[in-house]
Amino acid sequence: MEFNLNTMIRPHLAGVKSYQTLRDFFLNQKVVFLDANENPFGDFNRYPDGDPIQLKKKLAEINLAKTENLFLGNGSDELIDLTMRIFCEPAKDSIMIMNPSFVMYEIYAKMNNLQVEKLQLNSDFELEKGKFLDTISKSQAKVLFLCTPNNPTGNSIDDLEFYIQNFNGIVVVDEAYIEFSPEDSAVKLLNKYPNLIVLKTLSKAFGMAGLRIGVGFASPEIANLFIQLKPPYNISSESQKLALEQLNQVEEIQNNIGFILEEKKKLKKGLDQINGVVKIYPSDANFFLIEFKDAQLIYQKLLDKNILTSLRHPSLKNCLRISVGTAQENSELLKVLSEIN
């Protein structure tokens, strides 16, 4: 599929000059900062780096990418929103999403006044190639959002490349949960597909949801667009510093992922024994989508025991999405569930 980035960008953005931090030009020079109306006093008085190069280098190394492919957001949520704002014209363009999938795609589309076209997943929550080809042949969608492993269903997309290859527009592959999954990241496909954007986050497997760091990967041209058009200081200095410290302890992060996956296996065995459970959907993520005989009742009973689960997706009747917690949290969950029966 022939891809021309210039025809993808919203036309009025082509000439927009972003906010330029003056001190970016004097990074290696000791200068007195009287340029940004900061307060000269205090522990957090200086603005953070606008383009956190140290953090990007570390993330590039971990993800086997180049720094010029990377751009950062205040959570990958911000990058989802920016994708729409860069490529889609309000009141004119549409995006395409899987249904069910991560709810924020639709929420941001509404905020940006974009139409949403939905690719209905089959009863195993899989994309079907024929249906996909048929849908896109009638569609003008500018951006396709694919989520793998998918939230809230937990499964991965089979033959992801097929969908990237055949879509005539930008394809965002949201890999928020990929580190829990046995599948390869789509980052390695960047050289092959100039229309590809891969989104990752430090909120899940890396255990840093509180720092709000989302990581985007794309061609240097697309990465540059995001860097130019993002809010000026979107990653706080504390987040940059703490994330780097944590990423330098990769072993601990990997151990925690291993632990979560072990716990996930045990949790699955425990859930298999629970009477009200109708189906536990296969998951490559750190949560299970579970169908109950009466999900509303289970949700409330768990809440009565101070356990909060997720009963939210409009198209998933009688399903709860439950995250894998600590060993103690998981056994408490199983205990309460078995008592409900």
Chain residues binding ligand PMP by CB under 6 A are 75-77, 102, 147, 151, 174, 176, 201, 203, 209, 214
Least separation, in Å, of the C-beta of 287 and ligand PMP? 9
- Nearest distance, CB of residue 180 and ligand PMP, angstroms: 12
Closest residue to ligand PMP, based on beta-carbon distance: 75
Residue nearer to ligand PMP on the CB measure, 60 or 337? 60
Residue 178 CB, nearest distance to ligand PMP (Å)? Answer: 10
Shortest Cβ distance from residue 332 to ligand PMP (Å)? 23
Nearer to ligand PMP, 147 or 160 (CB): 147
Of the pair 63, 203, the CB lying nearest ligand PMP is at: 203
Nearest CA among 259, 71, 244 for reference residue 172: 71
Nearer to ligand PMP (CB atom), residue 147 or residue 222: 147
Unique residue bearing structure tokens 């041209």: 221
Q: How far is CA 267 from CA 261, 305, 312, in A?
A: 10, 18, 21
Which is nearer to ligand PMP, 168 or 310 (by Cβ)?
310
> Is-cis flag, bond preceding 149, omega within 30?
yes
Non-local (6+) Cβ contacts of 34 within 8 A are none
Cβ 197 vs Cβ 82: under 8 Å: no
Angle at 19 between CA 13 and CA 22, to 5 degrees: 145
AA letter at 73 = G
CA-CA distances (angstroms) from residue 186 to 4, 89, 240, 285?
21, 27, 25, 16
Q: Given the complex with ligand PMP, which of 63 and 201 has the nearer CB atom? A: 201
**Beta carbon of residue 253, minimum distance to ligand PMP (angstroms, whole number):** 16
CB nearer to ligand PMP: pick between 70 and 337: 70
Q: How far is the CB of 276 from ligand PMP (least distance, A)?
A: 26
Pairing of strands 94-99, 115-120: parallel
- Sign, Cα dihedral of 60, 64, 69, 74: negative
For the CB of residue 114, give the shortest distance to ligand PMP in the complex, in Å.
18
Measured distance between the N- and C-terminal CA atoms of the chain, rounded to whole angstroms: 54
DSSP 47: P
